[in-house]
Amino acid sequence: MSIKKKLLLQHLLIVSLTVVLLETVFFLGLITYYYTGAADMLKNHAVSSAHFANRYLELSGTPLQQSLPKLKEHFQIPQAEMQVLSPNGNILYSTVGFSQHDQIKTPDMKQLDASQANSWIGKDEMTHERILAVAIPLEDQGYPVGILRYVASLKNVDAMVIKLCTFAVLIGISIILIVMLLSITLANSLTKPLLEVTNASKQLAKGHLETRMNEHYRGEFGVLAKSFNEMGSELLRHEKMKNEFISSISHELRTPLTSIKGWSETIMTGNLEKKEETKSGLQIILTETDRLIEMVEELLDFSRFTNETMKIQRQTFLAAPLLHSVTKQFEKQLLAKKQKIELQIDDALELYADRNRIKQVFINIIDNAIKYSEQPGTITITCRQVKQAFVCDCTDQGIGIKTSDLGNIQKMFYKVNENSPGAGLGLAICQHILQLHHGKLTITSSYGKGTTISFTIPLLSSSFKSSGGSD
Ligand code: ADP
């Protein structure tokens, strides 16, 4: 069953039950008020009339038959017919003048008691009209001499009760109808966003990643729509990233491969006697192969990092020897780009981190500083302890980065210049490695003047190291 139907049925059930319950209480109140009220009024009159009539019979010494005119005069009321009956139920006198010959045996005539009047509501045998009858014995010196009975027609009371009941039923039906209309509106307002999210998900599943939901809903549905749209944007971003990645990586792989292929052909078809030419060709092949290996390593890192399988293995090591060996690795590039490195590091500075991954961060940052410097200059690397953290700043005098690019260069595959070498993954991987060490990477730059790339990692206390803290 659909949610809409379920909601409507639930509302219908709750409202109908409430209305039925309230109407029952109302009907019971109505009946008590009109019928019991009328009976009580008649009974009170009968009791006080019988009391006075008994006193009259006792004091005057007149038999009942002769006292009838007096009783009529004093005890009749306009709302009801007054009857005086013999003790066995035959009518001796009636204010309507018409008298029935049969014995009256209605329930109000049974078990009569002088202290209180009996009442009965039912159909009159003669007129078939609904009546209210009240009876009380008349006594002379303690002996029953007759019965005083009042009979009132219920025609008007019945009409009033029916009128009020019909009115109440109509109000009940109107309430149910109004609530049903409101329920339909409410159910629509609930099911509409659900239908929208279902349709939008189907569209997403079909690959239409630009599908979005309306965000104008309030409350939980608004949040759902927003999350759905965020999910769509994220999927779209991933799809775009994947496409960019494929095109960028194909381009990146193609350049060294073309160069390797070109030089291999040259060497094969050329004169092997020309040793110098062969050697420089082989050197280029070697460099390009190294570049390919580096790129494949970066790609593997990227896949580990997107699959969240990159793990770090901490060990204690001195930072200075590591940094010295890394800078040594760059001697050739530094010479080629007319750059020099100035290193300021405390020799005793000890780290508890993944040595190879931290080396990778150093390599990446220094490589960028050299790669993106076009004029001869100095690259200053300062490593120090600030409070409980290892802080390293690498400042170059290179091309710098525009403020508009600064916020993006840490993103995967982001390159300021599409033609520059590299896949745009280096800084993203560095950032991830530092995050795994609970550290962070910050970049400040002045376009045309130079860039400072800094990173911080917390220096773990010896207690953490000995307890074998892992990430
Ligand atoms: P890549 O491997 O392509 O260099 P990175 O993630 O290391 O990728 O760097 C992303 C981009 O940030 C680079 O394409 C470059 O434009 C810019 N960049 C990084 N470091 C520097 C720097 N020291 N000076 C100027 N630009 C830099």
Domain locations in the chain as residue ranges:
3-160, 219-307, 315-466
Nearest-atom index, ligand 1, CA of 398: 24
Distance separating alpha carbons of residues 334 and 350, to the nearest angstrom: 27
User: Distances in Å between the alpha carbon of 30 and those of 27, 79, 315?
Assistant: 5, 20, 90
Nearest-atom index, ligand 1, CA of 410: 6
Ligand 1 centroid vs 367 CA: distance in angstroms? Answer: 9
User: Distances in Å between the alpha carbon of 325 and those of 182, 320, 346, 347, 363?
Assistant: 77, 9, 15, 13, 10
Ligand 1 centroid vs 368 CA: distance in angstroms? Answer: 6
For residues 114 and 31, the model is more confident at: 31
Distance separating alpha carbons of residues 303 and 428, to the nearest angstrom: 12
For residues 432 and 294, the model is more confident at: 432
Predicted pLDDT of residue 289: 93
Ligand 1 centroid vs 406 CA: distance in angstroms? Answer: 10
Nearest-atom index, ligand 1, CA of 427: 6
Specify the range with the lowest mean pLDDT, choosing from 67-76, 169-178, 353-362, 370-379: 67-76
- pLDDT exceeds cutoff 90 at 439: yes
Predicted pLDDT of residue 471: 57
Is residue 463 very low, low, confident or very high in pLDDT (cuts 50, 70, 90)? low
- pLDDT exceeds cutoff 90 at 438: yes
Is residue 450 very low, low, confident or very high in pLDDT (cuts 50, 70, 90)? very high
CATH of segment(s) 219-307: 1.10.287.130
- pTM higher than the cut 0.85: no
Predicted pLDDT of residue 465: 58
Nearest-atom index, ligand 1, CA of 428: 6
- pLDDT exceeds cutoff 70 at 467: no
Predicted pLDDT of residue 461: 60
Nearest to 138 by CA among 79, 65, 80: 65
The whole-number average pLDDT for the span 18-36 is 93
The whole-number average pLDDT for the span 261-272 is 85
Q: By alpha-carbon position, which residue is closest to atom 18 of ligand 1? A: 368
Ligand 1 centroid vs 286 CA: distance in angstroms? Answer: 24
Nearest-atom index, ligand 1, CA of 420: 14
What percent of the chain has pLDDT above 90? 47
Is residue 417 very low, low, confident or very high in pLDDT (cuts 50, 70, 90)? confident
Question: Three-state DSSP class for 153?
Answer: strand
Is residue 464 very low, low, confident or very high in pLDDT (cuts 50, 70, 90)? low
Is residue 166 very low, low, confident or very high in pLDDT (cuts 50, 70, 90)? very high
Predicted pLDDT of residue 114: 80
Distance separating alpha carbons of residues 139 and 273, to the nearest angstrom: 158
Is residue 469 very low, low, confident or very high in pLDDT (cuts 50, 70, 90)? very low
Q: By alpha-carbon position, which residue is closest to atom 7 of ligand 1? A: 426
Nearest-atom index, ligand 1, CA of 415: 14
Ligand 1 centroid vs 460 CA: distance in angstroms? Answer: 30
The whole-number average pLDDT for the span 33-45 is 92
Question: Average per-residue pLDDT in the chain?
Answer: 87
Is residue 100 very low, low, confident or very high in pLDDT (cuts 50, 70, 90)? low
**Digit-coded pLDDT (tens) for 109-164:** 888 888 888 999 999 887 888 999 999 999 988 888 999 999 999 998 999 999 99
What percent of the chain has pLDDT above 70? 95
Is residue 5 very low, low, confident or very high in pLDDT (cuts 50, 70, 90)? confident
Is residue 74 very low, low, confident or very high in pLDDT (cuts 50, 70, 90)? confident
Ligand 1 centroid vs 203 CA: distance in angstroms? Answer: 38
- pLDDT exceeds cutoff 80 at 108: yes
- Phi, psi at residue 254, to the nearest 5°? -65, -40
For residues 114 and 386, the model is more confident at: 386
Distance separating alpha carbons of residues 379 and 465, to the nearest angstrom: 33
Q: By alpha-carbon position, which residue is closest to atom 14 of ligand 1? A: 415
What is the rounded (10 degree) CA torsion for 212, 215, 216, 221? 110
Any residues with Cβ below 6 Å from ligand 1, and which? 364, 368-369, 372, 396, 398-401, 409, 414-417, 420, 422-428, 451, 453
Query: In testing the pocket of ligand 1, which one of 245, 302, 337, 427 has its CB within 8 Å of the most ligand atoms?
Result: 427
- pLDDT exceeds cutoff 60 at 470: no
Ligand 1 centroid vs 416 CA: distance in angstroms? Answer: 7
* Single-letter amino acid, residue 322: L
Choose the most confident range, by mean pLDDT, from 8-22, 291-305, 401-415. Answer: 8-22
Is residue 101 very low, low, confident or very high in pLDDT (cuts 50, 70, 90)? low
Predicted pLDDT of residue 354: 93
- pLDDT exceeds cutoff 80 at 430: yes
Nearest-atom index, ligand 1, CA of 416: 16
Ligand 1 centroid vs 415 CA: distance in angstroms? Answer: 7
Predicted pLDDT of residue 98: 62
Query: In testing the pocket of ligand 1, which one of 409, 410, 414, 443 has its CB within 8 Å of the most ligand atoms?
Result: 409
Ligand 1 centroid vs 421 CA: distance in angstroms? Answer: 9
CATH topology of domain 315-466: Heat Shock Protein 90 (3.30.565)
Query: In testing the pocket of ligand 1, which one of 341, 363, 372 has its CB within 8 Å of the most ligand atoms?
Result: 372
Nearest-atom index, ligand 1, CA of 369: 23
The whole-number average pLDDT for the span 427-446 is 93
Q: By alpha-carbon position, which residue is closest to atom 25 of ligand 1? A: 400
Is residue 310 very low, low, confident or very high in pLDDT (cuts 50, 70, 90)? confident
Ligand 1 centroid vs 388 CA: distance in angstroms? Answer: 29
Beta strands in 95-222 (DSSP E): 118-123, 130-140, 143-153
Nearest-atom index, ligand 1, CA of 453: 23
CATH of segment(s) 3-160: 3.30.450.20
Ligand 1 centroid vs 122 CA: distance in angstroms? Answer: 103
User: Residue 390 is encoded by which pair of tokens?
Assistant: 């290892």
**Contact yes or no for 351/390 (Cβ under 8 A):** yes
Ligand 1 centroid vs 22 CA: distance in angstroms? Answer: 77
Q: Is the dihedral of CA 214, 216, 220, 221 positive or negative?
A: negative
Q: By alpha-carbon position, which residue is closest to atom 21 of ligand 1? A: 368
